[in-house]
Structure 1
Amino acid sequence: MKYFSVCFAFFITFSITTWAQTSPSVTPKKKELRFDLNDDGSHYVKGTFLNQIWLRYTQANPGSEVYGTPDDQIMDIGLRRTRIQVFGQLTDKVFFYTQFGQNNLSYRSPRKQGIFFLDAIGEYKVAKEKLSIGAGLTGWNGVSRYSSPSIGSILSLDAPLYQQATNDVNDQFVRKLSIYAKGQLGKLDYRMAVSKPMSIEPSSVQEPVIDENSLFTSEIGYAQYHGYFKYMFLDKESNTTPYQAGSYLGTKSVFNIGAGFMAQKDAMWHYADNTTDTVRTNLGIFAIDAFYDRPIDPSKGNAITAYAAYTYSDYGKNYLRNIGAMNPATGVNAEGTLNGPGSAFPTIGTGNTFYAQFGYLFRRDLFGKAGTLQPYISSQYSNFDLLDDPMAMYDGGVNWLIDGNRVKLSLSYQSRPIFAAASEGNYVTDERKGMAVMQFQIAL
């Protein structure tokens, strides 16, 4: 830890004198931390920093407790994401990328958490932009666009977490130990990877157990295969890193249609009906999506952003996972429902999921030097096998872009369904709960 801190401090101090102009954006003359290794700047090392702070009010799920004390309305403050990136092109052929930091530091987190690596890869360029091969701990993932989101440019309250299909079950915050190939063949952008799934035992998501409904197996796993392919009809997007933008804030004209997959043999298991015989099933996910981001009047800087996706997921019999990002509660009592504690709701499962988001960026000088606004709406609609009613989550808010995505204040509200068991034993929507979040983002 001390070594990385010293190295990064040295890097910032040394490169502060070599500020370089970035591509055009909502606010011009952006600078970056960059040190050129040769005269033309084709070899370089670059650093970034990002911090997302959440101030939140949560209508907690029924029966929620915080260390044994019931609490149905929870106020909290937390660091949703804190990230440092150091990466660069060392030679014409060799690229490296590292990202370290922390996620979900809240009032209920262990004290003095250490930073950890999210990404650490080496990459070799085989054929210019057409083919690069790399390996390491990486976010070069399928199944869809936001399986690897660029967190600094997220349009909505959070990335659509259902697209992070194995998040922290057998990977590390969507990063996998992989060998991958990526490139661009004209307008076609592709990524493919083969990953070694991480062990279930250390996971905080599920115990290494078997149940009547499907869970990830704790047995030694087969390789996981995944990929994502998109056709770029308008401007090309960068594929320097795996992380894909949520909004370009009027700086690009982008229209993509994509498709992706994930597959792993015998990734799941469950008990056969009314027995303790183990049934092993494959993990299979397929998705198609479309992304559109385009300025309306380039002279004014106003723009629209739209995204839509369909995902078919087969995690085995009745698999269902609740997710509550940076969950403010620690458990539930006897009044608890299928949702579990805090802000969690059924997000991932066997079945079909539709997702869409839309944002409108006002002109760049809406508030003069104080920036502009970008209101948005988004929704996830899922038909999961275990649930009798559809799962429908709604989210809306506004981003105040004080200095583009570098300094951004967001106000968001999310409405989620609560699922309870009916008299027949099936799961139906019982009520809805809400969560209001103010996020302050600083990025360099």
Structure 2
Amino acid sequence: MKNLCLLLVSFICIQQSFAQDNEALKFKLNESGSHYFQATLLNQVWVRANESNPGTTVEGNLASSTFDIGLRRTRMQLFGQITDRTFLYFQFGQNNFNAQYNSTGNRKIAPFFHDALGEYRISSKNQLKVGGGLSIISGLSRFSQPSIGTITSMDVPVFAQTTVDQIDQFSRKLSIYARGQIGKWDYRYILSDPFPISSNGQTPPALSSVANFSTKGHAVQQQAYLIYQFFDHENHTTPYMTGSYLGTKKIVNIAAGAIYQANALWNKSATGDTTYHAMMHWAVESFVDMPLANKGAINAYVGYFNTNYGTNYLRYNGVMNPANGSTLTASNSMTGQGPTYGNSYPMFGTGHVIYSQVGYLLPSKRWMPYATATLAQYDRIQGLSTNTYNLGLNYYIQGNKSKLSLDFQNRPSYQVQGDVIKAGDRLNTLTLQFQLFI
């Protein structure tokens, strides 16, 4: 904790070095600039102290707590309006790069294409665009396709990216889509060709009584998302959805979305037969981001998610996990999808989730305190709640181009005694992030 405080003071002391205006890396392709090609660069450095889950080991040693430094996201975007109606977009980079990244393999194998798509605008304005390629465009929620350089909280609610690194490439899928804005409505429909679970770099779980992604068969995935915009329209350049406009727009939206894929998961029934399950998720949500009379701004969100992966599906996940092992066994831990050590907790499962966040941008435009709550009930955890809370503070050196974020997270842990799952101690994580975005 002392190290984090010293780093926070140091970063604030040098903030003036980054307070100058930055010109966008934008190149005109015609005299008016309506045709252009642009590059952006983003880096998010995390410094973190974490209370470990029971039994956690790091390089073979027990670790009740950890301290780590990592690159949460390092990205390059290349995009542009090539003609009046054609748009090109690429994103390249890496994620979750810390000392435990690929600890049993080659740490140098990290960057990859996140997005590579082309889009054609059929209508005179934004009423209808069609596109295709590798894209994060999604039908479930705004947080399923977040603009990570503009989010209010230090990190996104990852559970909303429901199949991340299972049957997609870090939430991206090979897709064709239609999207547009008609009056106050913003819509998108996506047809995706998901990756097989066998290509995600991990050994798929064995067929068992709980559902997991099937290694047999292949079906396309359908997604749809619809927003009603009461006041200003949201940005429509890329499929990504802005986290906060920092009071520059008056946004009040309601939205609904869904994802469906037939026979995506399987399990073994009590009689030994193999049963296939459709994956069906849906969500309803509301988003507000608007200036206030005192020159501050409010940012707020609430969403309800109904997630159905089949019988008792549950997956643990720890963002940029600082550990790499556990002394626990199948007899005293929940086995299946994802490691239970380090900072992991049940993040994905068949059940229900309510996610909410609120942030208040002070009139100085420099500070934004925020709070988030993820309230989940997953079938496999026998009625216990999986509630995670975050409190944080953003310090905007130059808007989202240069900012510091300090985040405190409180998460659950669980104990397994025979067939009974019990709530364990609640554990904490303190993270300092330095974001630079050009």
TM-score where L is the length of structure 1: 0.89
Distance (Å, rounded) in 1 between the aligned partners of 2:25 and 2:189: 30
- Selected match of 2:428 from 423, 434, 441: 434
* Aligned equivalents of 2:136, 2:148: Cα separation in 1: 12
Say yes or no: does 1:311 pair with 2:287: no
Picking from 314, 323, 327, the partner of 2:317 is 323
Map of 1:224 onto structure 2: 221
Q: Is the 8 A contact 1:213 1:317 kept in 2?
A: yes
Q: CA deviation at 1:176?
A: 0.5
Once the two structures are TM-superposed, the CA of residue 201 in structure 1 deviates from its matched residue by 1.1
- Asked whether the 8 Å contact 2:235–2:242 carries over to 1, the reply is no
- Counterpart CA distance in 2 for 1:101 and 1:28 is 26
> SS of 1:152's equivalent?
coil
Q: What letter corresponds to residue 353 of structure 1 in structure 2?
A: V
The 5 Å alignment of 1:135-174 reads 135-174=132-171
Q: Which runs of 5 or more residues in structure 2 are unaligned?
A: 1-18
Which residue identity does 2:221 align to in structure 1? Q
- How far the C-alpha of 1:68 sits from its partner, in A, is 1.9
Partner of 1:383: 377
Residue 350 of structure 2 aligns with an amino acid whose one-letter code is T
- Indicate if the aligned counterparts of 1:284 and 1:315 stay in contact, CA closer than 8 A: yes
Work out the CA distance in 1 between the residues paired with 2:391 and 2:208: 37
Partners of 1:208 and 1:241 in 2: CA distance: 36
Q: Following the alignment from structure 2 to structure 1, what is the Cα–Cα distance between the partners of residues 414 and 303?
A: 24
Specify which of 71, 88, 92 is matched with residue 80 of structure 2: 88
Gaps of 5+ in 1: 1-26, 366-371
Aligned equivalent of 1:340 = 340
Of 185, 188, 194 in structure 1, the residue corresponding to residue 185 of structure 2 is 188
1:393 to 388, 411, 418: 388
Deviation at 1:208, TM superposition (A): 5.2
Distance 1:331 1:304, change over 3 A: same
Displacement after TM superposition at 1:241 (Å): 0.8
Contact residue 52 and residue 82 of structure 1 kept, 8 A? yes
Determine if contact 2:35/2:82 at 8 Å carries over to the other structure: yes
Q: Render the CA deviation track for 1:299-356: whole Å, top value 9, x for unaligned.
A: x641010000001111000001111000011121137643711000011110110000
Name the structure 2 match of 1:125. 121
Q: Distance in 1 between matches of 2:326 and 2:154?
A: 25
User: Aligned partners of 1:437, 1:44: CA distance in 2, in Å?
Assistant: 38
Counterpart residue number, 2:410: 415
Structure-2 separation of matches of 1:422 and 1:143:
36
Q: What secondary structure does 1:405 align onto?
A: coil
1:40 CA displacement: 1.7
Match of 2:291 in 1: 295
How far residue 429 of structure 1 moved from its aligned partner, in angstroms, is 1.4
- For residues 98 and 301 of structure 1, the distance between their equivalents in structure 2, rounded to whole angstroms, comes to 36
**Residue of structure 2 aligned with 1:111, choices 107, 110, 115:** 107
2:52 aligned with 1:60, yes or no? yes
Give the CA deviation at 1:60: 0.6
2:244 is matched with which residue?
247
| Residue correspondences, number | 408
What letter matches 1:426 in structure 2? V
Find the residue that maps to 1:241 and give its secondary structure. Answer: coil
Contact 2:394–2:404 under 8 Å retained in 1: yes
Which residue of structure 2 aligns with residue 283 of structure 1? 279
Matched-pair contact (CA < 8 Å) for 2:305–2:352: yes
1:351 is matched with 351
- After superposition, the Cα gap between the structure-2 partners of 1:48 and 1:301, relative to the gap in structure 1 and judged at 3 Å, is farther
Q: Residues 204 and 375 (structure 1 numbering): CA distance in 2 closer, same or farther, change over 3 Å?
A: farther
For 1:3-14, what aligned pairs fall within 5 Å after superposition?
none
